[in-house]
Structure 1
């Protein structure tokens, strides 16, 4: 079901599929896997299969029932472009998106090549923002090139968890960058200089920059609770959102 989200950069989550499989270091401590197991143990409807990929066609129409314009994060508990999600089913997801122009949909994937393949023969609805995860240089940065091939009104990067310095990032055609450290008991630290490097590149390229969290490690390299470390960077909270752009 669609639920109110605690994620700082969205309002609601909508999960027409649940479950996933790990494909890169960013998946190592997947919050969705942990949450799926917890929901299954609680007997929550829709999580009978735990974290095994599952299509949820009964959820496809949920956003159509909501008239109030809403920012939806699509598949916070899965990946729309997983290889085992048929394109015919993805078509049904985007049919709902097209039929609800009052909403904005944020869609994030680690399978950027399959996303580019899907949209090679299909237009992107103007109310769909498309993003890729960028956790490191080897796995994350190549996804940006695939994203750039897709003609979306907003293209964004979710640099979370940031696991190493990324070096120069080609931000051409990118409208928004979200950065965050990892949280949880096994969180890997994010270094201040990695964050500074990305934020400066965003400012230079005039790309909206959103700092989500420090996570389990503070700016000083000390382990604390996520709440204690907070969200401030350079003495302020960075909540920049992308301006709506023309498809390019």
Structure 2
């Protein structure tokens, strides 16, 4: 668990799973893979196995020990709904999140249909707890099918991460979506983001009354291009659970 995360839309990260495999164009320049592979073979290092998918049960109770309320990005270094993660382990992650209800948990996936199916089974009587936010990544128009999966998921709060934005999204129905994050790609080989792509997403959020957060323009470093869009910073959030930071 890492406190004081540099990610603008969260406070901390928690990784009960690390490692992943690529599933779409948004994964091409994965920062988590780039970081993890630097330490492959380094004995005793948490990422000695590189970016191989690894369950870390010793970390499951970490949020329970963190008493100050905060927003926690779950599996910033993996995807909780990867096919290699057993449902029984996902159950244990959700049990921790449900118990630690003084935090807000942010779960993000590209395996949108698997998340939808899991949430339907877990919360068959209705939407899940409001302090567990579930989102999907949508990097371009080809990935918009994930929005439909999210809309039908039994999530307490639903959000989109339109990052890295590598192509125009086009019109998108945000009915049932509570929050949209957008941002350009950063790091080596970062693909450029176009102003009109970001404006299109921002304008649809404003029109459909959905909270909008613009994270970054991206570039070789995350903060290379800053965060301003048309002369202001967009840092909106959905309503937070009472008591969270």
Aligned to 2:209: 206
Q: Secondary structure at the match of 1:4?
A: coil
Alignment of 1:177 with 2:180, yes or no, is: yes
Displaced runs of 4 or more, over 6 A: none
How far does residue 199 in structure 1 lie from its aligned partner after superposition? 0.4
The residue matched to 2:82 in structure 1 has which SS? coil
Over 3 Å counting, the alpha-carbon distance change for 1:44 and 1:204 in structure 2 is farther
Q: Does 1:127 align with 2:123?
A: no
Corresponding residue of 1:111: 111
User: Cα RMSD (Å) of the superposition?
Assistant: 1.6
How many residues align? The count is: 237
Give the drift of 1:233: 0.6
Question: Does the CA contact (< 8 Å) of 1:46 and 1:56 recur in 2?
Answer: no
For 1:168, the equivalent position in structure 2 comes to 171
* Cα drift, residue 42 of structure 1: 6.0
Alpha-carbon deviation of 1:58?
Answer: 0.4
Instruction: Please tell me whether residue 96 in structure 1 is matched to residue 128 in structure 2.
Output: no
1:19-30 maps to which residues of 2 (within 5 A)? 19-30=19-30
CA distance in structure 2 between the partners assigned to 1:87 and 1:125 by the alignment? 19
Structure 2 match to 1:219: none
Contact 2:120–2:154 under 8 Å retained in 1? no
* TM superposition shift of 1:244: 4.6
Write the deviation string for residues 44-89 of structure 1: whole angstroms up to 9, x where unpaired: 6431211000000000000011111011000000000000001100
The 8 Å contact of residues 106 and 129 in structure 1, kept in 2 or not, is answered as: yes
Provide TM-score, normalisation by structure 1: 0.91
Contact 2:12 2:72 in 1 (8 A): yes
Quote the Cα distance in structure 2 between the aligned partners of 1:152 and 1:204: 23
Kept in 2, the 8 Å contact 1:2–1:63? The answer is: no
Q: Distance in 2 between matches of 1:208 and 1:171?
A: 11
Instruction: Decide whether the 8 Å contact of 1:154 with 1:244 is kept in 2.
Output: no
Q: Give the drift of 1:8.
A: 0.1
Taking the aligned partners of 1:44 and 1:25, their CA distance within structure 2 comes to 32
What are structure 1's unaligned runs of at least 5 residues? 217-223
What TM-score, normalized by structure 2, do the two folds share? 0.92
Which one is further off, 3-12 or 32-41?
Answer: 32-41
1:184 Cα deviation from its structure 2 partner: 1.0
Task: Give the match for residue 220 of structure 1.
Answer: none
Check conservation: 2:106, 2:135, Cα contact below 8 A.
yes
Q: Give me the whole-angstrom Cα distance separating, in 2, the residues matched to 1:168 and 1:44.
A: 48
Shift of 1:4: 3.0
- Kindly indicate whether residue 152 of structure 2 is the aligned counterpart of residue 149 of structure 1: yes
